[in-house]
Amino acid sequence: SEERSLNFLEEIVEEDISAGKHGGRVLTRFPPEPNGYLHIGHAKSICLNFGLAKKYNGKTNLRFDDTNPVTEDTEYVESIKNDVRWLGFEWANELYASDYFDHLYDFAVAMIKKGLAYVDDSTAEEIAAQKGTPTEPGTPNQYRSRTVEENLQLFAEMKDGKYPDGAKVLRAKLDLAAPNMHLRDPLMYRIKHAHHHRTGDKWCIYPMYDFAHGQSDAIENITHSICTLEFIPHRDLYNWFIEQLNVFPSRQYEFARLNMTYTVMSKRKLMQLVNDNYVDGWDDPRMSTISGLRRRGYTAASIREFCERIGVAKRENMIDFSLLEFCIREDLNKTAWRRMAVLDPIKLVITNYPEGQTEVMHGENNPEVEGGDGGRDIPFSNELWIEREDFMEEPPKKFFRLGVGLSVRLKNAYIVTCESYKKDAEGNVTEIHCTYLPNSKSGHDTSGVNVKGTIHWVSVPHAKTAEVRLYDRLFKVEDPSNEEGDFKDYINPESLTIIPNAYIEPDLATAKEGKGYQFIRKGYFTVDKLSTPDKLVFNRTVTLKDGWKA
């Protein structure tokens, strides 16, 4: 993509490098919590963290932020690794916050020894009440004055499993009057008797985000810790812990998260769609997950281009879903192979073409590529499937398709002229009869006849059948999370239309997963991961912007 001015994070990094900070070294991290599949918002964070490091000869760690045992699972770890790799990025180290549990425990003990942390027996409600309000300072309770020895002993007992969930917490002894509520003696550890996907039953106390994230950054010597805007109020605390522990001075920087129209972008909501069977799994092609977009036919390059185009902002905004569609269209226009598929078939018979004869036509794979990107053979015969909408009994002026007396070119084949048609008892058109011009074959046309329209077709005896799935937006409204009631009330009931029996040219029977195809005049499609030779299934990635000139 073209030159653009530096974004604010690049400016920060360049300043740090020229100031010689950390010897010019850049180390970022992408820190997903393995409690769901990654979505397009995560792709933005991935492109940002990996892109920034790459640009400045740095590196990026993939760190699983797995400090919450209840919601995390190795299935998610595997999917996240797969998605990051598929997006085209390589991490320097695969790390887990849970690998730092011993380290973090020692940090907590150090805080207690400095008189900067205490064990509190209050309930969550009591703690919330004692915190005060933004205009009223909080009030210290009796536990705040516990001695270092007492705190050390109680914290060790918490770790040893002496207390049930919720009986005690470890809190920072910071400032109950701080204007920033996050500084009013924040929680550092809670008791949770739960099995962890990596540490098993070793721990029954788990660090809170604020006492895990910055410390993990420091342990890894992360230079630029990039997160979304909602963490701005956490920044003072992030710095305070680092200062008190006297560890590597990682710094936190915040950017605006990606919000996109007609989608939801939170693992919690995406999980509801999956669990309540509104969609067919995390990788349903209507989902905003990376795996869903991949199954839909989005390429990694188009998602990277999208992330580059939306840029990096310091204020929340809403990106139009159509920008993502624009990016995939641009990419597929250059890479997708052109093929013919008839989604709503009607039979066309060429009355002056020998019955039972097969002729092999040739079509290039992609006219946008020099030399056509190779090509394929297309069998032709006297009986073809064409789209029902390409014929009209009473065509208006400027209908450059078929009607009695009208001529069109059959793509990659001959010019035909409609002579007559047949109808059934209910008045539905069942068959269109044409004659062809033998000297009008594409590439060898000496007929001198000019026709305005070109239509696609598939030879009846050679056609394969396929199920074709047409996807539309999953939600009817731009911002389902901001509507009254439940976001699921705004699901588009027409987000999926299934065409059980479309006719496709035989070459498509060997379509490869992950490859884009343009069904000419119909849109971009890709073969579904569950497609088999006996039951071919194609997903529509995106429609053609302006339709193909007919």
Q: Binding-site residues for L-glutamine, please?
A: 65, 209
**Shortest distance in whole angstroms from residue 287 CB to ligand ATP:** 12
Name the catalytic one among 10, 21, 25, 33: 33
Q: What is the per-residue DSSP string for 84-104?
A: HHHTT---SEEEEGGGGHHHH
The binding track of 6-45 with respect to Mg ion, each residue x by CB under 5 A or -, is: ---------------------------x------------
Which residue of 235, 267, 295, 521 would you call a contact of ligand ATP, by CB under 6 A? 267
Pairing verdict, β 536-542 and 464-471: parallel
Ranges of H-type helices in 220-357: 235-245, 267-275, 290-296, 300-310, 321-335
Site for ligand ATP in 214-233 (CB under 6 A): 227-228
Does the protein bind ligand ATP through residue 266 (CB under 6 A)? Answer: yes
Q: Which does 31 bind (CB under 5 to 8 A by kind): Mg ion, ligand ATP, none?
A: ligand ATP
Q: Which is nearer to Mg ion, 33 or 364 (CB)?
A: 33
Cα separation, 330 vs 309, whole angstroms? 13
Structural tokens at position 542: 């995106």
State the DSSP H helix or E strand holding residue 296, giving kind and residue range, or none if neither.
helix 290-296
Question: What's the min distance (Å) between Cβ of 76 and Mg ion?
Answer: 12
Q: How many Å is the maximal CA-CA distance in the chain? A: 102
CA distance 430 to 424: 6
**Per CB under 6 A, 41 contacts ligand ATP:** yes
Query: Could you say whether residue 258 binds ligand ATP (CB under 6 A)?
Result: yes
Q: With 0-12 CB in 10 A as exposed, 13-18 as middle and 19+ as buried, what is 187?
A: middle
Please select the residue that binds ligand ATP; options are 9, 22, 27, 42, rule is CB under 6 A.
42
Among 257, 295, 338, 376, which residue interacts with ligand ATP (rule: CB under 6 A)? Answer: 257
Told to judge if 33 belongs to the known catalytic residues of this protein, a careful annotator would answer yes
Which residues within the stretch 19-38 sit at the binding site for ligand ATP (CB under 6 A)? Answer: 31-33
- CB-based contact 433:349 (threshold 8 Å): yes
Give the number of residues written for the chain: 550
Whole-number Å distance between alpha carbons of 312 and 325: 20
Which two structure tokens, joined as six digits, stand for 40?
């397009």
What minimum distance in Å lies between the beta carbon of 44 and ligand ATP? 4
Nearest to 410 by CA among 375, 447, 374, 385: 385
* Catalytic residue, candidates 63, 235, 257, 540: 257
Least separation in angstroms between residue 258's CB and ligand ATP is 4
Q: Which residues pair with 499 in a beta bridge?
A: 468
Which positions from 156 to 195 touch ligand ATP by CB under 6 A, shown as an x/- string? ----------------------------------------
Establish whether 441 is a catalytic residue: no
**Least gap, CB of 232 to ligand ATP (angstroms):** 12
Q: Could you tell me whether strands 169-172 and 117-120 are parallel, antiparallel, or unpaired per DSSP bridges?
A: antiparallel
Torsion of CA 377, 383, 388, 391, to 10 degrees: 110
7, interface contact from ligand ATP, Mg ion, none, CB < 5-8 Å by kind: none
Q: Which of 146, 190, 267, 409 is catalytic?
A: 267
- The SS3 call for residue 74 is helix
- The residues binding ligand ATP (CB under 6 A) are 31-33, 41-42, 44-45, 65, 227-228, 257-258, 265-267
Task: Give the residue numbers annotated as catalytic, written as ranges.
Answer: 33, 257, 267
